[in-house]
Amino acid sequence: MSRFVFFGGKGGVGKTSCAAAYALLCARNHHKTLLVSTDPAHSLADLFHVNIGSEIRNIEENLYGLEINPAEESSKYINRVKNNLVQVVSPVILEEIEKQLDAASVSPGSEEAALFDKMVEIINDYSKDFSQIVFDTAPTGHTLRLMTLPELLGAWLDRLMEKRQHALKLSGMAMRKGHEQKEIMDKDPVLNLLKTRKENLEKARNILLDEKRLRFVFVLNPERLPVEETAKAIEVLGRYGIPVNDLIINRILPENVQVSFWKKRKEIEIFYLNEIAERFKKQRLIKIPLMEVEIDEKTLDQMANWLKPLMEADENL
């Protein structure tokens, strides 16, 4: 049974670096790990210098990568829906629906739904194969919506199912006996499709909301905006029963800066570090220093070292 670790936070705070470093750490400690990037910026490939795409790829021993491209997933998703429709509606209606679907496929909401569907698929299909599944998620607001979407989608699917049942009844089915009615409903491809989606959704949601299996780690920098955004995210996730136990404060300046410019920056940083300690008493705070160079394969290792407490907490569960 795998654990799911989501790395959230504002763009640029260090999510991809932290997620990759954490995945590397887990892999080197003999946990079979899958690192999933849902960030359209696609920087996993840059970090590991291997092409990672929509198929799971081995990066090194025990470490696997997967990049989800929302636009690509969205068109695949729309095609799946179209194929399903071919079986149930007349060609004339199909043409009309296809037009609508094509219009929908370029809307941002559809990419989000497709991305979410893909995440649901990963959670359901791979949880047996990996001991850690690490998600390098897109910026905060987007991720939050993804996490909270099941409730909306669940209600929406319920409504669609009711509508379909109603339509079936109107199509003369009411004239039939009870057991015949049930048979038609059981065989209806549209109802079955909706039912399967709802079941998958619920399965994934149950996996995610199992406290011992889901961890949500927020990455922030000691600055005003990331602090505010983290507070908001913790509050919203809390409302949906998703706990945030760990915060990574990334890019902390060295202690003994000499130049007055950096002294000033350090003062500001200390102010926010205090504020973070004050506001996030329930969370464990992990600090990562600002490295001299950009994060690459070598510095990733260093970064992984700082994240050890995160993995150990996981192993103790």
Ligand X SMILES: Nc1ncnc2c1ncn2[C@@H]1O[C@H](COP(=O)(O)OP(=O)(O)O)[C@@H](O)[C@H]1O
Spatial neighbors of 53 by CB under 8 A, at least 6 apart, are 67
Among 25, 52, 161, 295, binds ligand X (CB under 6 A): 295
User: Where does this chain touch ligand X (CB under 6 A) — which range of 4-12, 91-99, 126-134, 263-271?
Assistant: 4-12
Query: Quick one: 13 or 27, whose CB is closer to Mg ion?
Result: 13
Query: Quick one: 4 or 213, whose CB is closer to Mg ion?
Result: 4
Residue numbers 227-286 binding ligand X by CB under 6 A = 250-251
Pairing of strands 3-8, 63-67: unpaired
Binding of ligand X by 193 (CB under 6 A): no
Query: Quick one: 131 or 250, whose CB is closer to ligand X?
Result: 250
Residue numbers 19-58 binding Mg ion by CB under 5 A = 39
Binding of ligand X by 141 (CB under 6 A): no
Query: Quick one: 131 or 143, whose CB is closer to ligand X?
Result: 143
Query: Quick one: 93 or 270, whose CB is closer to ligand X?
Result: 270
How many angstroms separate the first and last alpha carbons of the chain? 13
DSSP state of 101: H
Nearest one of 19, 23, 60, 63 to 41, comparing CA atoms: 19
**53: β partners:** none
* Closest-approach residue to Mg ion (CB): 16
Residue numbers 39-98 binding ligand X by CB under 6 A = 43
DSSP state of 252: E
Among 12, 108, 109, 189, binds ligand X (CB under 6 A): 12
Task: State the minimum distance, in angstroms, from the CB of residue 59 to ligand X.
Answer: 17
**226: β partners:** none
Among 2, 3, 5, 16, binds ligand X (CB under 6 A): 16
How far is it, in rounded angstroms, from Cα 43 to Cα 36? 11
Please state, in angstroms and as integers, the Cα–Cα distance from residue 144 to each residue in 6, 16, 149, 234, following that order. 11, 17, 8, 10
Element (H, E) at 14: none
**Residues forming the site for ligand X (CB under 6 A):** 9, 11-17, 43, 250-251, 288, 290-291, 294-295
